[in-house]
Amino acid sequence: MDFYELLQNHAAVFLLMLTRISGIFLIAPFYGSQNIPIYFRAGLAFAITMVMFPVVDQNTAIEAPPSLLGYVINVISELFVGWLIGFVAYVTMQAVNFAGKMMDMQAGFAVVNEMDPTSGQQAPLIGSLLYYLMLIVFLTTNGHHMLLAALVRSFDAIPLVGLHYDNSLAEMITDFTAGVFVTGVKIALPITFAILITNVSLGILARTMPQLNIFVVGIPMQIIVGIFVLAMIIPFYILFLDVLFNEIYGNIVIVLRAIQ
């Protein structure tokens, strides 16, 4: 029995499962972090596949395509399913980074960035603080378990080699991406409004006291007001994360139904 004949049996199911599970390790929050070694992520994907393989293989009866090209297409489709689950969670959480950039620009930290080890890119200061806090809450509330649960349930909703492309999928992805800006504005609104009031007050002060150097006073004042308002909204931000995580899980269900 050659290798391709072996693929037509249980190995086909195993490799397709491994491909779908590996997709979530490409971009999903926490699982797709760049500071986690790729060998560890590959080993974890293999371990999860080994655990799930007996159940899925018992309930799934598939036949490998008669050509190698057809099998490659199925592999890409399964990788897309896993990537899509991780992408929905990733793009929703990026609203926090967008809100952090807006806050930094208003508070005077726009020229200061740091290297984010999870993405390998430069990130704003306030955005990094809010993102790490969100990640801690995400892990504390077992959000990473929910992503794995969504991945497991995807095998029931979308059987192997059973992906169905819908025209509404592209529109959904566009809506999720556009939602980043809406959610980011909502998070950054308190600091943005407070800095706006501060700037209006400084403008009135500059008109009434022309001898005052408003640039020397304005920048430290913006930083002080920004940090003060940020400290006040942190408890409400934690409560907002519950809404954000529920939105992630709801979007994953909507996407899985679209490609079911």
Look up tokens 């020397």; give the residue: 216
Tens digit of pLDDT for each residue in 233-254?
A: 888 888 888 888 888 888 888 8
What is the rounded (10 degree) CA torsion for 38, 40, 46, 49?
A: -110
Provide the pLDDT for residue 130: 85
Query: Measuring CA to CA, which residue among 84, 93, 57 is closest to residue 183?
Result: 93
pLDDT for the residue numbered 6: 54
Structural domain of residue 192, as residue ranges?
A: 3-258
pTM for the model stands at: 0.81
Residues 6 or more apart whose CB falls under 8 angstroms from that of 99 comprise 127, 130, 183, 184, 185, 186, 187, 188
The structural domain count of the chain equals 1
Quote the CA–CA distance of 41 and 151 in Å, as a whole number.
15
Q: How many angstroms separate the CA atoms of 161 and 64, rounded?
A: 9
Q: Residue 45, SS3?
A: helix
- Determine the pLDDT at residue 61: 63
| pLDDT computed for residue 126 by the predictor | 80
Looking at per-residue confidence, does 235 or 7 come out higher? 235
Q: Say if CB 192 and CB 103 are below 8 A apart.
A: yes
- Residue 160's pLDDT is 77
Check residue 117 and give its pLDDT. 64
Q: pLDDT tens-digit profile of 67-121? A: 777 778 888 888 888 888 888 888 888 888 888 888 888 777 766 667 666 666 6
DSSP string, 130-183: HHHHHHHHHHHTTHHHHHHHHHHHHHHHS-TT-----THHHHHHHHHHHHHHHH
- Residue 50's pLDDT is 87
Tokens (6 digits) for 132: 């790490």
State pLDDT tens for residues 111-147. 666 766 666 667 777 878 888 888 888 888 888 888 8
2 pLDDT more than 60: no
Q: In terms of Cα–Cα distance, which of 83, 247, 52 is closest to 152? A: 52
Burial 123-149, CB ≥16 within 10 A → b, else e = bbbbbbbbbeebbebbeeeebbebbbe
* pLDDT at residue 7, as a whole number: 56
To the nearest whole number, what is the mean pLDDT of the chain? Answer: 80
Asked if 134 and 113 touch (Cβ cutoff 8 Å), the reply is no
The pLDDT tens digits of the residues spanning 144-202 come to 888 888 888 888 877 777 676 767 777 888 888 888 888 888 888 888 888 888 888 88
The percentage of the chain sitting over the pLDDT mark of 90, rounded to a whole number, equals: 0
**Amino acid in position 77:** S
